C-alpha cells in the first residue's frame, strides 16, 4: 500500500471536498481518498504509486488546484 499527501488550493466547503474526492477516486490505481477542508490536505491511497500528474489533472477537473506534495 502506498500513500501520498498533496495540498489543494481553493476548497471552501463540503461540496468542494466531495468534488475533489469524486474526481480523484476515479484515477486508475487509487484505492482511498481523504480530504481535509481545514488544511487543504488530500491523502491518496493506492496499491502502487500513482503519477502525481494524474492526481493534479483530477483535482483540476474538480475545479481546484494542486499546489504541493508533502
| pLDDT at residue 18 in the model | 98
**Domain extent listing, the chain:** 2-69
Residue given cell 487543504 in the structure block: 40
Query: Which residues, 6+ apart, have CB-to-CB distance to 28 below 8 Å?
Result: 50, 54
14 alpha carbon, distance to own chain's centre: 14
| pLDDT at residue 30 in the model | 98
Q: How many CB atoms lie within 10 A of CB 34?
A: 14
**Which pTM value belongs to this model?**
0.94
Whether the predicted pLDDT of 69 surpasses 90:
no
CATH 3.30.70.100 fits 2-69, yes or no: yes
| pLDDT at residue 70 in the model | 78
Task: Give mean pLDDT, residues 9-20.
Answer: 97
- How confident is the model over 17-55, as pLDDT tens digits? 999 999 999 999 999 999 999 999 999 999 999 999 999
Taking the C-alpha atoms of residue 45 and residue 32, their distance in angstroms, rounded to an integer, is 5
| pLDDT at residue 1 in the model | 84
User: Do 59 and 42 meet the contact criterion of CB atoms below 8 Å apart?
Assistant: yes
Amino acid at each position: 500500500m502506498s500513500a501520498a499527501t498533496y495540498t489543494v488550493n481553493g476548497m471552501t466547503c463540503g461540496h468542494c471536498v466531495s468534488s475533489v474526492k469524486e474526481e480523484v477516486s476515479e484515477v486508475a490505481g487509487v484505492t482511498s481518498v481523504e480530504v481535509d477542508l481545514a488544511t487543504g490536505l488530500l491523502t491518496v491511497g493506492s496499491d502502487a504509486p500513482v503519477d502525481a500528474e494524474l492526481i493534479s489533472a483530477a483535482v483540476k477537473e474538480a475545479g481546484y488546484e494542486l499546489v504541493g506534495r508533502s
